[in-house]
Amino acid sequence: MTGDDSPFESVSESDLRERFERADYVADDRTVTTVQLALDLGRPLLVEGPPGSGKTELGKVLAAAFDTELIRLQCYEGLTAENALYEWNYTKQLLAVQADEGTVTEEDGGSNTRRESVFDQDYLLERPLLRALRADGEHPPVLLVDEIDRADEAFEAFLLELLSDFQVSIPEFGTISADHPPIVVLTSNRTRALSDALKRRCLYLHVEPPSFETEYEIVRRKVPELDAAVAAEVCAVVDRLREESFLKRPGVAETLDWARAVAALRHDDADSLSADEIERTIGCLLKEAEDVDRLDATLLEDLRAAAAAADDRLEAEPT
Amino acid sequence: MTDPDPMDGATDDAPPAADRQPLDLGGSVAESAAPDFRAARRHVLLELLRLAADLRSDGVDVPPSGPLTAARALASVGLADKPRVEAALRASLLSSPEGIDAFADAFPTFWHRLRTGLDAIATDDGGASPDDDASSDGSAPDDPGTLPDAQVPASGDDTGGGETEVLIPTERRYASGDRATEDSETGDARRYSAVGGRERVEVPAGGLRDEETAAIDRFVDALATLPGRRHRDAPAGDRVDARRALRASLGTGGAPIDLPRTEPTPSELRCCLLLDVSGSVLDTIDRAVLLDVAARLTDRARQSRVFLFDTDLVDATTAFARADGDPAATLRDAEFEWGGGTKIGAAVDAVRRQHPAAVDRRTVVVVISDGLDVGDEDLLADAVTWLADRAGALVWLNPLAVSPAFEPKTRGMATALPYVDALFGFARPADLAEAARQIERRGLGGPIGYEHDPRRQRAEAGGEGE
C-alpha cells in the first residue's frame, strides 16, 4: 500500500515539528502526531473543522515544509472527472485526424504510412489529480483536495481508487500509477456528511479552535507588527467571543484579520483596547448580521474586561 | 447490509499488520529480560478491538477497517507515549466530530487496561500461560503504583457487556419508559384517560446544541424526497447530460448516438409532522426538546406541515413557521393546549378530512407518538392505512422504543406497525442521527427500525450473558 521507499518514512516527530516551526505554523501535539502518521502510513489525511481554522493552511505548510509542489484541487458542485483528472485535447485530436497524422483506431491495417493513435501522451491534458500522480521530484507533491464536501457524491466515489491505490485508469490509455504516492490532504467544512468509504481510507484530524496561549503564539508569528500586549488582548477578546453562541464563531483566520486591522488602526500607542475600538472593528470577527446585532453594551463591557485581564492571563501561564 | 462483526473481521486481519513492525512496548517491557511479545501483541490487539466495540456501542461510527488502521498506527507511534497513542487512535478510529466526546470518555479506560496488562506481561515470569493472561485481562491485577498517570475506570473490572444503560440519558433530565411515580392518582388518571385534563403550553425555552442540530439535519437529509439541484446519472432521466453526450459522440465520429441522461438527486424534504402531545408522551420526553426538534425539522425541510394532537388535532404550521428558534414561546402566545389523552386514529382521520392536501406522494409523514392509543381501533387502522397509501413514506418515532426492552405490543402501536415504513426510538436529538444512519445505509424500504439499533442489540447481547 505505501511506497516502501517513501522519503517520509524517516521523518521523525521532532523533525516534523521543526519543519512546521520554520514554516511559522503553530501545531499542537495531536496535529503533529497525526500528520506524521499520515506520512508514515501513506494514508490520506482528512481534516475537518470550522471555517477559518487553518485546514487549507496545513496543506500549504506541508508543501512549504518539504519544499515540494503544492497541487490544489478546489472542489465545487458539478466538479467532474474531466476537470479534476485529465481531458483529451479534442481540438488537437481532431486536427491530427483531419491532417491524417493520427488515427482513432489501434491498428491501421496494411497502410505503410505510420500514423500514431490520437490517444497518446501528446493529446492528454493533465488536470491536478493526474499531475499529482505523475509528478517527479525529490519529494512527492502535496495534493490538497480542498472542501471535498462541496463536490458531488459521484466525484467522491471517483476519488476512492485514487486514494487507496494511488492509481487511475484511463480507458483509452491504460492505468497510471504513482511512483511516489503524493501526500494527500483533504479538507471538509462538513456541509454534508462524507461517505463511509471515503472516511475509512483516511486518517481523521478534527481541528478545534486553539487555546488562548496557542492563538497568542499564532498572532505573534503571523502579525509581528502588533504590540505583544495588544496581541494578548486581541486573543482574550476572541476567546471570550467564542463562548457566545454565535451563528458563525470567529476562527483563527478572523483573529488574524482582526489583529492586522487593529495593528493598522493604532500605530504605536500601546493602550489597551477600548470598547469603542472593539465595536468599530467587529466586522473583522463577526460575519453575520444577527451576530453583530447581539453585540450590546453588556457584551462589549465583558469583552473590554477580558481584554484588560489578558496580561495577567498570559503571565499566569508558563510559556 | 450490516457491518461485519468487528471482532471477527479485524482479528483475522490485525495480527499480520502488527507483524510488520515489532511493537514498541515502552520502557517497562523493554527492560525486562525476555518479554512475552506474543502475549503483549495479543493484549494490545484485544484492547484495541474492545475500544472500537465500546465506541460503536456509544453510537460512534467507527469504520470496519478502523482497528486495522489503528494497529498500524500504534506500530508506528509506539505504546509508551500517552498523548501520541491518543492522537494516533483518534486519527484512525474516528471519522466525524460527533465521536470526539465518546472517545475522550473511553480512552482513559483503554489506556489503563493497556498499560496494566502490558506491565503484567512484562513482569510475568512465565507462571501463567500467555493465553490465560490475555483472555482474563479484564481482571488483570490493578496496581495503581505502576501507573501514576492512568485513571482507574469507574466501572472497575466490568468488561462493558453490562454497561449499556436502560435509562435514556438526555442532557436536561432523564427520561425513561417508566412513568414518574410521584404523581398523585388524579395525575395518573389524567394521563390514561381518553379525554384527560389539558393545560396550556408552558415550557422553558430549550435551545439545541450544535451536534443535536446536526443530527436533526442529517435526519432531514436522509428522508429527502424532492428533487434538488444536483443531478445524477440515470438511464431514464429527463435531462440529457450534454458533456457526456459530446464525449461519447467522439467515438462515433461526432454524431451523438448515445445520449446519457441525468435526473435530479432528491435533496429536499416535504414533510408532514404529526406530534403527539398527550400526557403520556409529554411525561416521557423532554418537552423543550420535543418542540425544538419539531421546529428545527420544519425549518430544515423545504415544505412542512405540523399538527399537534392529543384528543383533538390542531394545525400548528403557522405557529412553528413563526417560531424563530423559540417554538415554546410562540405556542404559549398562541394559547395552544396540550396534555390530554391520545386518540391517534381520530387525529389522522381529522388530517384526512380537514387537511387532505397536507399529505401527498412526495410527503414524508413523521409521527412522534408513543402509540398508547385509547381511541377506536378500527378507526386507527383505517386512518393509518390511508396515511401509508397516500404518503411517500411513514416514519414513526416512538419515545418508548429507545428502551432495549421495548416491544410494539400496545394496542395502538401494534395496529399501526404493519403500515409504518420505519419505527425508530426517539428520546433525544442524537437518536435521530442513528435513524438517519440506518436510512442512509439501507433506504426507507430496507431493514430499518428500532430493532436494528446497535445499542439495543448490544444491550440484548449483554442481557443474555448475565
B205 and B343 in a common domain: yes
pLDDT value of residue A120 = 80
Q: Hey, of A8, A48, A92, A200, which one would you mutate to test binding to chain B, going by the most B CBs within 10 A of its CB?
A: A200
B273 and B261 in a common domain: no
Compare B224 and B202 and report the one with higher pLDDT: B224
Structural domain count of chain B: 3
Residue (of A45, A288, A135) closest to B73 by Cα position? A45
Q: Chain B 250-289, CB below 8 Å of chain A: which residues?
A: 250-251
pLDDT value of residue A185 = 92
Compare B312 and B458 and report the one with higher pLDDT: B312
Which of A37-51, A105-119, B23-37, B376-390 shows the lowest mean pLDDT across its residues?
Answer: B23-37
How far is it, in rounded angstroms, from Cα A289 to Cα B373? Answer: 47
A133 and A278 in a common domain: no
- Tell me: pLDDT of A235 over 50: yes
Q: What is the pLDDT of residues A8-37, one digit of tens each?
A: 556 788 888 888 888 888 888 888 999 988
Quick check: is B173 in a domain?
no
The identity of residue A8, as a single letter, is F
Judged by a CB distance cut-off of 8 A, whether residue B208 touches chain A is: no
- Tell me: pLDDT of B100 over 80: yes
Q: Answer whether B92 sits within 8 Å of A204, measured CB to CB.
A: yes
Chain B residue with Cα closest to A192: B218
Judged by a CB distance cut-off of 8 A, whether residue A22 touches chain B is: no
Positive or negative, the CA dihedral B366, B370, B376, B377 is positive
Judged by a CB distance cut-off of 8 A, whether residue A193 touches chain B is: yes
Chain A residues inside the 8 Å CB shell of B88: 33-34, 37
Judged by a CB distance cut-off of 8 A, whether residue A76 touches chain B is: no
pLDDT value of residue B443 = 79
A185 and A58 in a common domain: yes
Q: Could you tell me if B389 and B417 are in contact, meaning their C-beta atoms sit under 8 angstroms apart?
A: no
Compare A169 and B24 and report the one with higher pLDDT: A169
**Owner of C-alpha cell 485513571:** B151
Judged by a CB distance cut-off of 8 A, whether residue A1 touches chain B is: no
A238 and A293 in a common domain: yes
Q: Ramachandran region of residue A40, left (φ > 0), alpha (ψ -120 to 50) or beta? A: alpha
The segment with the largest mean pLDDT, out of A130-134, B134-138, B309-313, B395-399, is B395-399
- Using CB atoms within 10 Å of the CB of residue B161, give its burial: 0 to 12 exposed, 13 to 18 middle, 19+ buried: middle
B418 and B364 in a common domain: yes
Q: What domain range includes position A19?
A: 13-82+129-206
Q: Take residue B436 and report the three cell numbers written for it.
A: 438517519
Chain B residues inside the 8 Å CB shell of A189: none
Question: Among the three residues B146, B181, B212, which one is the final residue of a domain in this structure?
Answer: B146
Strand partners, B240: B261
Positive or negative, the CA dihedral B392, B393, B394, B396 is negative
Residue (of B305, B402, B319) closest to B359 by Cα position? B305
Q: What is the 3-state secondary structure (H, E, C) of chain B?
A: CCCCCHHHHHHHHHHHHHHHCCCCCHHHHHHCCCCCHHHHHHHHHHHHHHHHHHHHHCCCCCCCCHHHHHHHHHHHHCCCCHHHHHHHHHHHHCCCHHHHHHHHHHHHHHHHHHHHHHHHHHCCCCCCCHHHHHHCHHHCCCCHHHCCCCCCCCCCCCCCCCCCCCCECCCCCCECCCCCCCCCHHHHHHHHCCCCCCEECCCCCCCCCHHHHHHHHHHHHHHCCEEEEEEEECCCCCEECHHHHHHHHHHHCCCCCCCCEEEEEEEECEEEEEEECCHHHHHHCCHHHHHHHHHHHHHHCCEEEEEEECCCEEECHHHHHCCCCCHHHHHHHCCCEECCCCCHHHHHHHHHHHCHHHCCCCEEEEEECCCCCCCCHHHHHHHHHHHHHHCCEEEEEEHHHHCCCCCCCCHHHHHHHHHCCEEEECCCHHHHHHHHHHHHHHCCCCCCCHHHCHHHHHHHHHHHHC
Calculate the alpha carbon distances from B397 to A228, A236, B340, B394 in Å: 55, 44, 19, 10
Chain A residues inside the 8 Å CB shell of B221: 192-193
Q: Answer whether B76 sits within 8 Å of A200, measured CB to CB.
A: no
pLDDT value of residue A115 = 65
How far is it, in rounded angstroms, from Cα B426 to Cα B418? Answer: 19
**Residue A106 C-alpha, separation from nearest chain B C-alpha, in angstroms:** 13
Residue (of B282, B275, B357, B268) closest to B319 by Cα position? B275
- A2 secondary structure, DSSP code: -
Compare A219 and B129 and report the one with higher pLDDT: A219
Count of C-beta atoms within a 10 Å radius of residue A167: 13
pTM given for the model: 0.53
Quick check: is B344 in a domain?
yes
Structural domain count of chain A: 3
Confidence of residue B155 (pLDDT cuts 50, 70, 90): very low
**Residue B92 C-alpha, separation from nearest chain A C-alpha, in angstroms:** 5
Q: Hey, of B79, B95, B209, B326, which one would you mutate to test binding to chain A, going by the most A CBs within 10 A of its CB?
A: B95
pLDDT value of residue B97 = 82
Question: Among the three residues A206, A221, A240, which one is the final residue of a domain in this structure?
Answer: A206
B205 and B261 in a common domain: no
Biggest CA-to-CA distance, chain B: 85
The chain-wide mean pLDDT, for chain B, equals 74
Question: What string of DSSP letters covers A152-221?
Answer: -HHHHHHHHHHHHHSEEEETTTEEEE-SSPPEEEEEE--SSPPPHHHHHHSEEEE--PPPHHHHHHHHHH
Quick check: is B181 in a domain?
no
Q: Answer whether B90 sits within 8 Å of A204, measured CB to CB.
A: yes
Q: Chain B 223-252, CB below 8 Å of chain A: which residues?
A: 229-230, 232-233, 243, 247, 250-251
B53 and B12 in a common domain: yes
Count of C-beta atoms within a 10 Å radius of residue B174: 11
A276 and A153 in a common domain: no
B450 and B346 in a common domain: yes
B348 and B240 in a common domain: no
Quick check: is A1 in a domain?
no
How far is it, in rounded angstroms, from Cα B451 to Cα A3? Answer: 45
Confidence of residue A315 (pLDDT cuts 50, 70, 90): confident
Q: Take residue A265 and report the three cell numbers written for it.
A: 488602526
Q: Answer whether A193 sits within 8 Å of B218, measured CB to CB.
A: yes
Chain A residue with Cα closest to B99: A206
Q: Answer whether B95 sits within 8 Å of A90, measured CB to CB.
A: no
A149 and A68 in a common domain: yes
- Tell me: pLDDT of A283 over 50: yes
A279 and A184 in a common domain: no
Q: What domain range includes position B199?
A: 192-222+269-465
Q: Answer whether A199 sits within 8 Å of B221, measured CB to CB.
A: no
Q: What is the 3-state secondary structure (H, E, C) of B219-276?
A: HHHHHCCEEEEEEEECCCCCEECHHHHHHHHHHHCCCCCCCCEEEEEEEECEEEEEEE
B241 and B134 in a common domain: no
B209 and B124 in a common domain: no
A271 and A297 in a common domain: yes
Quick check: is A99 in a domain?
yes
B247 and B210 in a common domain: no
Quick check: is B183 in a domain?
no
Residue (of B324, B338, B390) closest to B368 by Cα position? B338
Strand partners, A167: A177
Mean pLDDT within A94-123 = 70
A53 and A193 in a common domain: yes
Beta strands in chain A (DSSP E): 45-48, 70-74, 86-88, 102-103, 116-117, 124-126, 142-146, 167-170, 174-177, 183-188, 203-206
Chain B residue with Cα closest to A49: B97
Which residue in A29, A90, A205 is closest to B83 by CB distance? A29
B140 and B72 in a common domain: yes
B334 and B237 in a common domain: no
A34 and A109 in a common domain: no
Question: Among the three residues A175, A206, A237, which one is the final residue of a domain in this structure?
Answer: A206
